[in-house]
């Protein structure tokens, strides 16, 4: 199979992905395009032992709004009332987006692997998280490539029970992350980089 994107082109796409907090509801691409991105990403992102334990639910429209209402009300119970305003602003920012990707891991798959491969028992939960992170990056980057802004949030486990109940999520699916996305309304700040020499060694 030929590959239309060389490494440089691929890395340009990787570099272009940023955390975008300013997201709006205006449609940038069709829902069908978003659905295809998610389907391709989940099919082709690797997983340990090809376990394919990642699960994704994409909430559009009123379901997206409901998620951020649930999160807001959950946080309201634990954040002091007189300092809630920044949290409210943050929640409004996510709710302003077009849709949210919920990332899960099916722990039934992970546990089954632990039983089958006793020697790797302790590794499977770590690998499951790593694979899910890979999927998050693939989806985040693909959304960016379509001109959408996204960010990554972790209101789990606080919201797990209500999310499961609201959208009839199977009991074995563990919520890992939430990725609200939408039309970019604010460009990201300049990013600071540690020197690459501090992070990489080439041994020849
Ligand atoms: C594993 C992981 C967890 C993250 N968790 C959060 C989070 O809970 N909330 C948030 O606002 N950003 C979160 N981020 C976003 C990072 O803060 C962000 O990616 C980092 O500062 C680099 O900025 P960039 O995404 O613009 O390149 C997370 C990123 C990663 C990779």
pLDDT in tens, 72-99: 999 999 999 999 999 999 999 999 999 9
CA-nearest of 97, 112, 125, 53 to 185 is: 97
141 lines ligand 1 (CB under 6 A): no
pLDDT in tens, 110-138: 999 999 999 999 999 999 999 999 999 99
198 dihedral zone (left: phi>0; alpha: psi -120 to 50; beta)? alpha
The alpha carbon of 1 and the centre of ligand 1 are apart by a number of angstroms equal to 34
Ligand 1 mutation pick, 152, 180, 190, max ligand atoms within 8 A of CB = 152
Protein residue whose Cα sits closest to atom 1 of ligand 1: 133
Band of residue 5 on the pLDDT scale cut at 50, 70, 90: confident
Cα–Cα distance list, 133 to 6, 105, 137 (Å): 23, 11, 6
Protein residue whose Cα sits closest to atom 15 of ligand 1: 152
Residue 137 CA, closest ligand 1 atom number = 31
pTM exceeds 0.95:
yes
């Amino acid at each position: 199979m030929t590959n239309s994107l060389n490494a440089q082109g691929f890395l340009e796409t990787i570099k272009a992905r940023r955390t975008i907090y300013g997201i709006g509801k205006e449609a940038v691409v069709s829902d069908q395009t978003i659905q295809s991105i998610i389907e391709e990403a989940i099919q082709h992102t690797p997983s340990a032992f090809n376990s394919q334990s990642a699960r994704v639910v994409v909430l559009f429209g009123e379901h997206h709004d409901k998620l951020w209402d649930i999160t807001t009300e959950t946080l309201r119970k634990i954040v002091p009332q007189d300092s809630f305003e920044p949290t409210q602003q943050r929640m409004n920012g996510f709710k302003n987006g077009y849709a949210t990707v919920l990332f899960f891991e099916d722990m039934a798959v992970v546990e089954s692997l632990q039983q089958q491969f006793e020697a790797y028992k302790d590794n499977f939960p770590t690998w499951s998280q790593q694979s899910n992170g890979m999927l998050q990056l693939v989806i985040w980057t693909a959304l960016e490539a379509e001109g959408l802004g996204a960010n990554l949030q972790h209101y789990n486990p606080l919201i797990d029970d209500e999310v499961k109940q609201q959208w009839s999520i199977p009991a074995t699916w563990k919520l890992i992350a939430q990725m609200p996305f939408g039309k970019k309304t604010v460009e990201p700040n300049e990013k600071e980089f540690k020197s690459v020499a501090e992070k990489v060694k080439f041994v020849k």
